[in-house]
Copies of this chain bind each other. A is one copy, B any other.
């Protein structure tokens, strides 16, 4: 058999037709089978391309109803959330880490809610500062579920950050994230080495292993911090 275009080529070609205006939002595309014949590949290949474009938010597909360009193409960029150490080292800086506190406590209601818990339970609270070239990069206030991750108590969190240990030792299956902005109070300003009143970038993240909450974290970053994404 001769070999037709690959599914990525088909994906790019369809996307190009939309981008160039040959297909407009709301328009219906040919059936997969017709496209396959036109392009000289099998329906499987067209299907794989369509699957990717649907996931990207460009197309809508319905059985019997066919494939359409979404009337409102959305953007669904993936943002990459690496381990903090790698984020810092990836920018060519030297990573540093300072543990501030690590103690047992019962988290406040909003943290329990974020972890989808209804009953209060004791957890490990870890506050720490991540540094890039010796300068404050990210301050984190983290709650770790002792019910899900009792082993964390045996870890020397002065040497390994909770972030790194958890990532390597308790993989999650799902998570939730919230990005926002906040004003630095005097306390945060001191921790992050910026002026009080500065605008901080706030990342909140919760991870679960199935239904079990692993950890909830609130991280503050000083001015200059940004999340980037290409799509």
Contact = CB atoms under 8 A, between A and B. Distances in A.
Interface stretch (A18-26, A103-111, A119-127): A18-26
A226 B182 CA distance: 11
B201 A167 contact: no
A66 interface: no
Interface residues of A, number: 60
A81 B77 contact: yes
Nearest to A86: B72
A117 interface: no
A13 B200 CA distance: 39
A179 B82 CA distance: 16
A111 to B, nearest CB: 16
A153 interface: no
A183 interface: yes
Ranked 6 nearest A-B pairs via Cβ: A181-B181, A181-B199, A75-B81, A180-B226, A179-B227, A199-B199
